[in-house]
Amino acid sequence: MQESATRVRKPAPRHVSYRVAQGLCSLKERLTGKPPLEVEALEKIARRDMGGAEFADVSFREPLSILLRSLNETARLNPIGRIAASTRLRQILVNRLSLERAWGGPHPLPNAAMPALKRPIYVLGLPRTGTTLLLNLLAADSRGRHLRYWESLTPVVAAGVKKGGDSKTLRQKLAVQQVQRTNLLAPNLEGIHKIEPLGPEECLWLLQNTMLSYSFPLMWNIPEYTEWLNRRSEADWESAYRYYLATLRLIQNDMPGDHWVLKCPLHTPRLATIARLVPEACFIQTYRNVGEVVASMCSLAHETQRISSDHVDHANVGRSTVQTLASWASDEATGEANLSRRVLNIHYKALVSQPLSTMRIIYDHFQLPWTQDTEDAMRKWLNDNPQRKHGNHRYSLDDFGLTSDEVMASCQSYHAAEQQLLKLV
């Protein structure tokens, strides 16, 4: 480890658009003060945005306070990072107030009193294992109801919408603006994970509303919050997932479809939780060489954190990423126990080299109707979105002070399962 750490690469120079934005944010801070990163101030702004509504459920305060303490003490946020963090956390609180209004109370209704989800097909697997490709192919089938980025980001209403106003249009506009800002600040991200603001996207943003989400450590260096998250019990996670699933049920009322198409690598450690809460759910798990997974995930985490901080340590990104993914990899390798045909494992190489054949296997396994229209829609998406359309994504374990041997040693069960699956490709 000592030897490999010396090869950690230096950060690439900032894009000119980022430097301009940084200067403008610094000027804004000098003129108006730093954006609030404390619970009371964020709550006050969110309540104002929602017309003075009060929070009925304040269970979010503990994780939010720990997250904010980590942001203030260890994340080393720059002006862009402070504004982005304050804006996102305020939106989460607005989402929670909006959901309470929609539910008519502090908590979602009991599952028995709410419409059942339309047979969710979940795409799971460690990050960077082809889950986005698989999501887009499944979403090409018009009979599937996929979650769009704009409704994941703002699931109910946008702050400031007057009674009778068109909330949907504003939510879409805000999502487009969010993606444009991110691409401006971090041009390299498009080559790693392309987001279509009006297209299919993962459930990451819905999970953030629960305040229990590993997406926050991906965005910021917040070890105290990460450690707190690692200590959560199954009861804590079940409560969070009931909240998330109730949100999906609200969104489901907006659009027809025979089944849900949902994807988020963050669900992978909680496969058994979802399976218990949603008996009709099915799961596709993707596998890939774990060294490639960790290197690619480190690259994504570095680019994401670099938007908000000028002090992102490659070696620290490497250590924290391999620790988190090692835990998830163990969960993935054992998560499908006792679920019979509800789980199907797919190797990344099969999906990339034979996408349509792999999709036929998936449809046959879950007894979904395969038609010529389905195949044509998927083929069109593949033709319109060739691999590396948005640029090459280059990454290496060496860049983050890691070696292949230590990664393999940390993820032995996952590696063994992946190798068995690879033999079938």
The three-state secondary structure class of 125 is strand
- In this predicted model, which residue has the larger pLDDT, 108 or 151? 151
Token pair in block for residue 316: 């620290």
Q: What is the mean pLDDT of residues 182-201?
A: 82
Cα gap 95→37, rounded to integer Å? 18
Task: Check residue 193 and give its pLDDT.
Answer: 72
Tell me phi and psi for residue 25, to 5 degrees. Answer: -65, -40
Q: Is pLDDT above 90 for 9?
A: no
The three-state secondary structure class of 148 is strand
CB of 6 within 8 A of CB of 402?
A: no
**Residue 424 per-residue DSSP state:** T
Task: Check residue 383 and give its pLDDT.
Answer: 95
CATH of domain 118-422: 3.40.50.300
The alpha carbon of 370 is separated from its chain's Cα centroid by a whole number of angstroms, namely: 29
Select from 266, 424, 265, 423 the least CA-distant residue to 358: 424
The full length of the chain comes to 425
- In this predicted model, which residue has the larger pLDDT, 368 or 193? 368
* End-to-end Cα, the chain, rounded Å: 33
Reported as a single tens digit per residue, the pLDDT across 301-359 is 888 899 899 999 999 999 999 988 888 877 655 555 567 789 999 999 999 999 999 99
Domain ranges of the chain: 118-422
**Residue 231, CA distances (Å) to 63, 224, 290, 319, 328 in order:** 12, 11, 25, 19, 14
